[in-house]
Amino acid sequence: MDTARYAELFLTESQDNLSAINHALLELERRPTAREPVGALFRAVHTVKGMSATMGYSVIADLSHELETLLDLVRRGDRDVDASLMDTLFGAADTLERAIELSVAGRADDLDVAETLTALRAASKSSRTPDAEPPAAPAPRSRKKRAAKSAATGSALTVVVALEPDTPMMGVRAYLAIERAKTLGAIVHTSPDVGALAADGFDGTITIALETSAGDDEIDRVMRSAGSIATVRVSRPGGAPGRVAASPPNGNGSEARRPSAGTASELAPARQHRHIRIDLQRLDTLMNLIGELVITRGRLQQLAAILNDPSLTETVTQASRLVADLQDGIMTSRMVPMWQVFDRFPRVVRDAARALGKQVDFVVEGQEIELDRSLLDEIGDPVVHLLRNAIDHGLETPDERRRAGKPPTGRLSLTAARDRSAVVIRVTDDGKGIDRDRVLARAHEMGLIESGRGDLTDDEVVRLIARPGFSTAREVTDLSGRGVGIDAVHTRVRALGGTVDIRSTKGTGTSITVRLPVTLAIVRALLARVGDETYAIPMTHVNETAHLELNTIRQVKGRDVLVLRNDVLPLLHLRDVVRLPKRDAGGGQVVVLEVADRRAGMVVDELTGQQEIVIKPFDAVKDGLSVFSGATILGDGVPALILDVSSLL
């Protein structure tokens, strides 16, 4: 069997199992006497073992085999769960993850797993049962198991599972079906056996003798959860009537679909798997095509308005609706839940807290919030920086917290929520907060502020700690001290069209909020003109617009402010921002911009309307302005720059 073409599928399946392994390890560390995490660990490792053996990845198979042996001792109660065991298990999980990545890449020999295998075997030997114990002791138990197996053979039912004809990695999928069957009861035997599933002659049908009390409906449901199952046939001992639950090949009312017992289980054929895996490159291509289509739609709408032909206008309107529906469908297909990235953070927090000798209660909320896949891939590293920064700089050691009257375990939360057309990610801790005095002293040392300054505003604190190379850490560690954490977050988030906001109270804690657009590809924008130039302002940051009246402008400390319904807002002039000559006083429009809790008014010559724009990459010229986040093509074919509102406020 040529397994090379199934490598990506194996990697995807293995990543799901690795995630389950890490979650189970964290749960086992919190509840050392619990049985559920051990069972979950064993099942995930056992699945990886079978899949890797089928693929011919011997390094992974060896690792998972030794890990499975150790977990079996824990499951049977022959090995206590202690700190030493948890370190061994976490280390083995990391090695297993690396082995999977390298094996799929064809570089399995680059990884030396001897040390991990030795550690696993040593942990297995330190079980409660001494090595010198006579082997005769467990013999009665083995005889009982053989007797039980023999008895079970006579009362076991038979489950015949047929895979769909075009199933990729057919042997691996059959192995997963066997693993699902184990959750129903004891497997007496399988035909063919597990070792033969990888053979080229395997036809996709496997027979399982199963000792279980489950009904036909449950057996059918559990077996189909393995995926790519065409039929499930259940036969009971003594000639009891069984049932075939089949997926209709063409929906043509085949024999397998006819109801035989009138039960609800006959609806099983309708329970098809509704998900398929698609290469992200294909989705990116579709997104680029719909972007060009949106630009063309804008041009068509402009031409229809100029020609003023009713038939043309009606046709363009209908085409515009279809393009909008297509655009919505493609963008929705790119949305994925945050948990796909958030799932790895509990392990990150655990390792960082352990390295620093701190106790952390980590809470994650809003994992079901969806974000464009391209953004989700980019946001992982910034969140890791924020979490590590909170553990290192924010949360105190248990002794420090006790002296401050706090519980020894610090609280760290990661939340995600939707806010209009943006996603808000917030990292909050109940630690000591930002030490303004240290920030001020460090800023003096680096010559970043004048020597006479004795206090800093919130915005100044944020700007300082976000500067490249700025750090208040007394020493460089593996986690911090190089001054790249918050700076890296700011740089990455700004590049994604988002903003970072920091709020901190000394002795109470710190909250860092990241706001991101839901998607980077197509956004609705307000078009504003100054002189002969048109600029796009993302509607995410537009609160309202108004006609500019001279009597609403005031001067405060030498700067223009706008008085709007008893609110006083800082006032910007887009002409000043893009370095165009000032125009005569009077007239113009004002756009009220909003980023997080900051608001300001921006004066423009004219507002020309709203439009969905396709964001194109923008490489600024050397020494150019840093107030643009991208560019777009308008309906008339003229390019326009997109303002980065977060850099203006």
- Residues designated catalytic: 46, 68, 389
Task: Select from 214, 216, 244, 241 the least CA-distant residue to 229.
Answer: 244
Sign of the C-alpha dihedral, residues 336, 168, 177, 47? negative
Helices (H), 308-359: 310-333, 339-342, 345-356
Angle (CA) 206 210 213, round 5°? 140
Token readout for 363 is: 């809470």
Sign of the C-alpha dihedral, residues 294, 295, 301, 307? negative
What's the one-letter identity of residue 310? P
Token readout for 251 is: 């929906």
Give the separation between CA 329 and CA 578, rounded to whole angstroms: 37
Q: What is the largest CA-CA distance in the chain?
A: 102
User: Is cis: bond before 192, omega within 30 of 0?
Assistant: yes
By DSSP bridging, strand 240-246 and strand 335-337 are: unpaired
Give the separation between CA 537 and CA 274, rounded to whole angstroms: 39
Exposed, middle or buried by CB within 10 Å (0-12, 13-18, 19+), for 242? middle
CA 640 to chain centre: 33
Q: CA-CA distances (angstroms) from residue 334 to 289, 375, 413?
A: 14, 10, 27
Give the separation between CA 469 and CA 487, rounded to whole angstroms: 8
Give the separation between CA 481 and CA 372, rounded to whole angstroms: 33
Rounded to a whole number of angstroms, the distance between the first and last alpha carbons of the chain is 60
Token readout for 347 is: 């392990």
Task: Select from 240, 94, 105, 228 the least CA-distant residue to 174.
Answer: 228
CA atoms within 13 A on the CB side of 232: 27
Task: Select from 53, 66, 57, 50 the least CA-distant residue to 100.
Answer: 57
Task: Select from 386, 589, 606, 631 the least CA-distant residue to 504.
Answer: 386
Helices (H), 392-529: 398-403, 436-445, 458-465, 485-495
Q: CA-CA distances (angstroms) from residue 395 to 303, 381, 399?
A: 61, 20, 11
Residues β-bridged to residue 162? 205, 231
Q: CA-CA distances (angstroms) from residue 453 to 444, 446, 466, 472?
A: 9, 14, 19, 18
Give the separation between CA 73 and CA 79, rounded to whole angstroms: 5
